[in-house]
Homo-oligomer: A and B are copies of this chain.
Amino acid sequence: MDRTAPTCAAETEMDELAADVFAGACPSREILDNVAGRWGTLALVALTEGAYRFNALRRRVQGVSEKMLSQTLQALERDGLVHRDVQATIPPRVEYSLTPLGERVGAKLRALVDLVEEELPAVRAAQERYDREKRQVAVSATAART
């Protein structure tokens, strides 16, 4: 068995999976950064809706700079999650879409994003509660220091 590309799994024996992300120097970390980073997430979720051309995608994901979008897409293409279709016309036309694997990852991400959006009110409530309590603590600490 020639494992030229050793995953860093097979070292622990966890429940099922998700074992090696915790290992410091694991390749899955790097991929996760690409996928779960701010722009990676948004790009993949956007592409879940269908193919996009560069500038269309840029408009869809508001706030991303040309540079970061380009960079993100390159990383995702390298990871085999995004397909880049170049039509050698003038003007050039490039379409980005998800590969089958990209679809699966995108689906997971979309589930996450949907959940976060759904629970946004709850989260904001929690934040306000937290901030209020923090202020309380600060106040009482100041009072006690007299």
Interface residues of A (CB under 8 A from B): 5, 7, 9, 16-25, 27-29, 31-33, 35-38, 41-42, 45-46, 60-63, 77-81, 101, 104-105, 108-131
Contact = CB atoms under 8 A, between A and B. Distances in A.
Given A21-B45, A38-B36, A45-B18, A112 B105 contact: yes
B31 A121 contact: no
B18 A127 contact: no
A21 to B, nearest CB: 6
Given A22-B60, A28-B120, A79-B126, 7 more contacts: A22-B61, A31-B116, A36-B41, A80-B129, A101-B126, A104-B115, A109-B112
Nearest to A111: B108
Given A32-B38, A80-B126, A110 B46 contact: no
